[in-house]
Amino acid sequence: LTRWWETDTLAWKLAVAYAVWLGLKAACTIRGYPLEPRSDGTPWPIGDGFGDRSGRHQGIDIRAGCGTNVVAFTDGQVRWRDNPSGYGYYIDLYHTDADGNLTGDFTRYAHLQSSKDEVPNGQYVTAGQLIGVSGGALNMEGAGNSNGCHLHFEYRQVPEGGGTPVPIDPAPLLGDPVT
């Protein structure tokens, strides 16, 4: 077994250092992937990435089929479920630290078939727990501005010193997803 500091790749060292920093900041609550894997066990591929569409895309689009189970990326509290025009049905999951305290960071899961029946507003969930079902097909109820099945996934992080959570690219937090 090679220790991370003995590897030759700078990318690996930076990734581990970032994960350690992020883990300390978020009290190690980041745990998983926002969708159940495909039947072969691999993650769903990423379509549009963070910042695509002239920098206006504040998340990533994961190309999952309609009806794929959407699961909590981390432990947290469901704080918002709605159907505004762009996101369609969506859930904001506010993250908790190791002690169960809300951190202010949250993840957004959008273009769901519904979120009404899976988890009620205010409910605490654990990483990997079912919170919705992917949708987004053209003319599907709750699709929002979408024309194909996928999950729009955002991560918003409170800046050092506090303030309004800002979007960060969630792709590096997913490990090594297929692009």
* pLDDT of amino acid 50: 81
Q: Yes or no: say if 152 and 44 are a contact pair by the CB < 8 Å rule.
A: no
* pLDDT of amino acid 52: 61
Beta-bridge partners for 61:
152
* pLDDT of amino acid 92: 92
Whole-number Å distance between alpha carbons of 29 and 94:
11
For residue 10, pLDDT beyond 50 = yes
* pLDDT of amino acid 3: 40
Within 13 Å, how many C-alpha atoms sit on residue 111's CB side?
Answer: 30
| Two tokens, residue 120 | 């009620």
Residue where the block lists tokens 């654990």 = 126
Pairing of strands 69-71, 102-114: unpaired
pLDDT digits (tens, 9 = 90+) for 101-119: 999 999 999 888 865 567 8
For residue 170, pLDDT beyond 50 = yes
Residue 178: Cβ within 10 Å count: 11
Q: Yes or no: say if 142 and 89 are a contact pair by the CB < 8 Å rule.
A: yes
41 Cβ contact list (under 8 Å, min separation 6): none
pLDDT digits (tens, 9 = 90+) for 144-163: 778 788 999 999 999 988 89
